Amino acid sequence: MAYVETTRMGGEGTVAVVTLNRPETRNAFNSQMAMEIDEAFRSLADTDARVVILTSSSEHAFCSGADLKERMELSEAEWREQHEKFEQMFNTIADMPQPIIAEVDGFALAGGFEMALNCDFMVAAETAMFGLPEVTRGIMPGGGGSRLLARRIGVHRAVDNLFNMEPNQARMLEMIYYDKCLDTRDREEGVRAFVEKRTPRFIGQ
């Protein structure tokens, strides 16, 4: 079973959609899923896609970070190899020539939040939950979270969030982390209207 699906939309198929599809783990990415994400973005880099939307098949989670169950079974050498794969995935997203829009609903935690931070824009549903809980386990974010968060919201606020923030609902953080916060269905309409350069038709859901 593939953990990542790539589709095209728009009149000429110039809008690419990369969908995370591992709902049983809240889209926590293991080594296989990380490679699929990396391959999906690499395959789009040199195409006629003008924009890429990164989304989830589940309204309950955008991505909850790395799969810690898999990590527990790895040796130190295997863990380092896995971390290199994760770094490559984040770098591929960040280096994409097309603008990337993260369409966030549900949990966006740890590496999942970092994945969204590596995108150019974030549009969040009101049910989105953001957080970098790594510090509760005695580690720092491994996907560039501290650097990317500081770039987006400023160093002092980023430091405070890194060490003190519990996962927070999207509406509480509106215009701090991301670009727009909408109801779940309106979030999808907002993203599509943005990439199609038209006025959105919101329905309040």
9 is written with which tokens?
């939309």
Single out the catalytic residue among 84, 114, 126, 174. 114
Active-site residue flag, 114? yes
Single out the catalytic residue among 5, 87, 134, 196. 134
Asked if 107 and 169 count as a contact pair (C-beta separation under 8 A), the reply is: no
Name 102's bridge partners: 54, 122
66/117 Cα distance (integer angstroms): 15
Nearest to 1 by CA among 32, 26, 28, 31: 32
Active-site residue flag, 134? yes
Rounded to the nearest 10 degrees, the angle between the axes of helix 155-164 and helix 145-153 is 130
Nearest to 109 by CA among 158, 160, 165: 165
Q: C-alpha angle 3/4/6, rounded to 5°?
A: 155
DSSP 8-state secondary structure symbol assigned to residue 133: G
98 is written with which tokens?
């097309």
β-strands 107-109, 129-131: how paired? Answer: parallel
> What positions carry a catalytic annotation?
114, 134
